[in-house]
Amino acid sequence: MLTVAGVLVLALPDSLEGPRLVEFGPGHGPSTLDLVGIALLTPGASWLLAMLVRALPSLAYQPRTLFGLGAAGGLGLGLLLASVFAGFTGWWAIGALTLTAVELVLLARLWRAHRS
């Protein structure tokens, strides 16, 4: 629920946000409203990642598959960071989708493992 609330707060229009508190790059930086969204999003996202990392041994992926998932996740995170700090506008969406796809693959495997 916190994750959903955080995403909703971060999705609010820029006109409600106010001034940026810190500038990371051209047009990038958190406002007070962004920090509220980040504070809501962080606990839920951290819990999900911790659960997935703890479950990795039980998912029994082949080493090459696990490497591919890690590489895709790293690429997604790299695109997200590059879009903020280097101004690669639009690439954040590809990075976010890639990272989300990796998490969904891991969650689906975890869900199937616990169902059987």
Whether 46 contacts 8, CB under 8 Å: no
pLDDT tens for 33-60 read 788 888 888 898 888 889 988 998 888 8
Model pTM score: 0.73
- For residue 6, which of 35, 47, 46, 49 has the smallest C-alpha distance? 35
**What per-residue confidence (pLDDT) applies to 5?**
84
**What is the rounded distance in angstroms from the CA atom of residue 40 to the CA atom of residue 51?**
18
Alpha carbon distance, N-terminus to C-terminus of the chain: 27
Distances, alpha carbon 85 to alpha carbons 18, 28, 68, 91, in Å:
20, 8, 25, 12
